[in-house]
């Protein structure tokens, strides 16, 4: 159904055409205290899969800070634009050579990063090229060790974005993880808490059989495993990894992955994510006199707007929205509600219901800009 044309008070019109997602720059806001992430994600998606350049402090609320050349790992969940550090679930990190040890980051090759709506790519200093494409509840990786056929992959289920550093050993409250007998996957569930408590089930699948897997020693207080998975005799295209998530159960993670990424077609997942963003962003059109810079500003802002809240319901379920960060957005809430109502009417009712439910259940208030008490969730 086409959306009627309106003129909004902030000066743009709603349309259903155009190639506009190319103006989105996911790196905008990743410097300073912008706290955004270039992770691959879909609109309102549970998964936002991408790099973490640091951890353990307020600068790394989204895991990524522009200008840092380290990669602590690629985790599957991130918050964008919030003022508290959180998420970073189910981290993986590839090494072309031997695994150097827990906490030793990889290094990015300067100028090798690429990010667009639904996609992220980078080349590491050891020549390993990593590409990520996202679906709403899952992600697919292409990991290619340049000139090599061997790869070691850290799968770190104790990892998370936390502060201070001492919380890394404490934030996972429980975990149940099982490597698969077919040597092509790892399934499990963990409950972690940093800022809020998160129940995250996951299904990890590899397109190649591993030659070895070993669990690393755990530090005092740690309850989730870290594995180093070794792959040898890889094909020229390298290793593909699929990761599905669910907030309900392990079976939900498997079903979400099977529904969204049933095969190993990376290009199809990347194309589908791009189409989802294009369909949403193309509802807004600037006047023909707008410069490319103005288009980049607008469409990147809209992109950030619709990264969250996250729909945490499993595939096929009624939407359940979470990851509201009203402390950071309440000052712009009127514009936010107006944009959501006009640009995404299918989501606005579910969002309003979820906010009302959370406000009644939590009854948490904070002081607003002018001293008045406002509800916050």
Mean pLDDT for the chain overall: 86
The DSSP output letter for 284 is E
User: What residues contact 299, with CB distance under 8 A and at least 6 apart?
Assistant: 20, 21, 23, 24, 281, 284
If you ran DSSP here, which 8-state letter would residue 149 be given? S
pLDDT in tens, 228-254: 999 999 999 999 999 999 999 999 999
Q: How many residues does the chain have?
A: 377
Give the pLDDT confidence score for residue 6 in this predicted structure: 39
Instruction: Give the model's pLDDT for residue 316.
Output: 94
* Separation CA 86–CA 60 (nearest Å): 9
322 or 231, greater pLDDT: 231
Indicate the helix (H) or strand (E) that contains 371. Answer: none
**CB 21, CB 274: distance < 8 Å:** yes
95: which strand partners? 152
What pLDDT, in 10s, does the model give residues 108-151?
999 999 999 999 999 999 999 999 999 999 999 999 998 889 99
Question: For residue 229, what are the CA distances in angstroms to 76, 136, 157, 232?
Answer: 18, 26, 13, 10
CA distance 343 to 282: 10
CA 48, distance to chain mean position in Å, is 1
Q: Say what the pLDDT of residue 351 is.
A: 64
Quote the pLDDT of residue 15: 43
**pLDDT, tens digit (0-9, with 9 covering 90-100), for 339-363:** 665 677 776 666 666 666 555 555 5
Contact between 14 and 286 under an 8 Å Cβ cutoff? The reply is no
Do 85 and 33 meet the contact criterion of CB atoms below 8 Å apart? no
pLDDT at res. 288: 87
Question: In the predicted model, what is the mean pLDDT of residues 272-279?
Answer: 96
pLDDT score at 32: 80
Task: Check pLDDT > 90 for residue 337.
Answer: no
Contacts of 315 (CB under 8 A, 6+ apart): 136, 137, 255, 256, 259, 260
Contact in structure between 120 and 41 (CB atoms under 8 Å): no
Do residues 349 and 357 lie in contact, with contact meaning Cβ atoms separated by under 8 Å? no
| pTM as predicted | 0.88
In order of their start, the domains of the chain are: 21-275 (2.70.98.10)
């Amino acid at each position: 159904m086409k959306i009627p044309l309106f003129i909004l008070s902030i000066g743009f019109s709603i349309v259903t055409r155009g190639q506009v997602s190319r103006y989105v720059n996911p790196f905008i806001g990743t410097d300073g205290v912008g706290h955004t992430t270039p992770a691959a994600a879909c609109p309102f998606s549970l998964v936002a899969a991408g790099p973490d350049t640091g951890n353990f402090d307020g600068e790394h609320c989204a895991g990524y800070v522009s200008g840092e050349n380290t990669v602590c790992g690629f985790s599957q969940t991130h918050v964008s634009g919030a003022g508290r550090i959180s998420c970073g679930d189910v981290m993986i990190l590839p090494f072309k050579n031997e695994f150097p040890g827990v906490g030793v980051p990889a290094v990015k090759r300067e100028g090798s990063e690429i990010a667009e709506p639904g996609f992220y790519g980078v080349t590491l200093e050891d020549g390993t090229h990593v590409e990520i494409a996202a679906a709403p509840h899952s992600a697919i990786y292409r990991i290619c060790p340049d000139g090599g056929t061997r790869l070691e992959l850290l799968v770190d289920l104790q990892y998370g974005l936390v502060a201070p550093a001492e919380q890394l050993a404490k934030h996972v409250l429980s975990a149940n993880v099982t490597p698969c007998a077919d040597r092509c996957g790892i399934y499990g569930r963990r409950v972690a808490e940093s800022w809020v408590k998160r129940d995250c089930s996951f299904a990890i699948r590899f397109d190649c059989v591993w030659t070895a897997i070993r669990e690393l020693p755990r530090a005092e207080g740690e309850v989730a495993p870290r594995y180093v998975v070794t792959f040898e005799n890889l094909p020229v295209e390298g290793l593909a990894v699929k990761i599905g998530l669910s907030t309900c159960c392990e079976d939900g993670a498997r079903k979400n992955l099977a529904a969204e990424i049933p095969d190993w077609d990376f290009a199809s997942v990347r194309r589908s994510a791009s189409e989802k963003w294009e369909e949403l962003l193309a509802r807004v059109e600037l006047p023909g006199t707008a410069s490319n810079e103005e288009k980049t500003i607008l469409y990147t802002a809209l992109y950030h707007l619709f990264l969250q809240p996250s729909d945490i319901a499993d595939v096929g379920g009624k939407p359940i929205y979470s990851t509201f960060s009203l402390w950071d957005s309440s000052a712009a809430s009127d514009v936010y509600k107006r944009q959501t109502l006009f640009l995404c009417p299918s989501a606005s009712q579910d969002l309003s219901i979820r906010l009302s439910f959370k406000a009644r259940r939590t009854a948490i208030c904070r002081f607003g800009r002018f001293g008045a008490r406002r509800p916050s969730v």
